[in-house]
Structure 1
């Protein structure tokens, strides 16, 4: 596991204990794309597929984790990241291990966000995340608006 994956895994399990109970693991980060995995067993519902709340959590955490890692890379790790608003849809069930993905915004959007955050100490960023089922089909489509605030703002 790379240093960034290890850092995010530890942060999630320490700061958001539910992630440990969900069996969530951080599996991929290349500086642009984050992938989290959610096993079925601790997240199963009465239909023998993944509970919608677990899928929602995976989608939120993919965005939250992506932002946390990108802020660290930009030496802006003195920030708090929170979800402000979200729209979610569940087009297909996840009947096995699911993967939550976030690829982040365009470079231009990130640059505007980072400039605002550095100048004002607070900024908002819209992120789209997906959760894919074992057949690589979209089980969740998530559009979230995150607010980031620097500790000294």
Structure 2
């Protein structure tokens, strides 16, 4: 785990206590991709699969964490990140530990987002997260979230 990963995990566990109870860990932050670990045991439902609410939280947190780390790389630490809207789909059950993965938007989208924030003190960014069962690349969950950064 690199320094950025440790920083984000500390922020999540301190500022969003639910993340501790869910057992969320930051696996890595590399090449503008964030990967979070979601353990089945702490998030299991009555069907012995991962609870949909936990999957939603994990997907939102992957997007929130991605934006937090990316802004930190840009030297922007004066803003507040909130989720404004989210759309989720659960095509496959999560039957074992899982990984939530958020990747970067296009460079053009990122550049426009930064310009809007610097000019107006508020900007919106759409991020995509997928959750996969451990050892698989097939998306068990797909999530699209609109995040707002404001001063």
Instruction: Report TM bin, short chain.
Output: over 0.9
The offset of 1:116, in angstroms, is: 0.6
Structure 1 counterpart of 2:141: 140
1:4 aligns with 2:4: yes
TM-score of the aligned structures, taking structure 1 as reference length = 0.96
- Following superposition, the deviation at residue 134 of structure 1 comes to 2.4
Counterpart-to-counterpart distance in 1, 2:53 and 2:28: 23
Distance 2:57 2:141 in 1: 11
Unaligned runs of 5+ in 1: none
Who is 1:90 aligned against?
90
- Where in structure 1 do 4 or more consecutive aligned residues deviate above 4 Å? none
| Contact in 2 for aligned 1:9/1:26 (Cα 8 Å) | yes
CA distance in 2, matches of 1:126, 1:24: 23
C-alpha displacement of 1:21? 0.3
Long gaps (5+) in structure 2: none
| Deviation (angstroms), 1:19 | 0.3
Contact 2:84 2:145 (C-alpha < 8 Å) held by counterparts: yes
| Number of matched pairs | 150
Partner of 1:55: 55
Shift of residue 51, structure 1, vs aligned partner: 0.3
Contact 1:95 1:134 (8 Å CA) reproduced = no
TM-score (norm 2): 0.97
For residue 94 of structure 2, give the secondary structure of its aligned residue in structure 1. Answer: coil
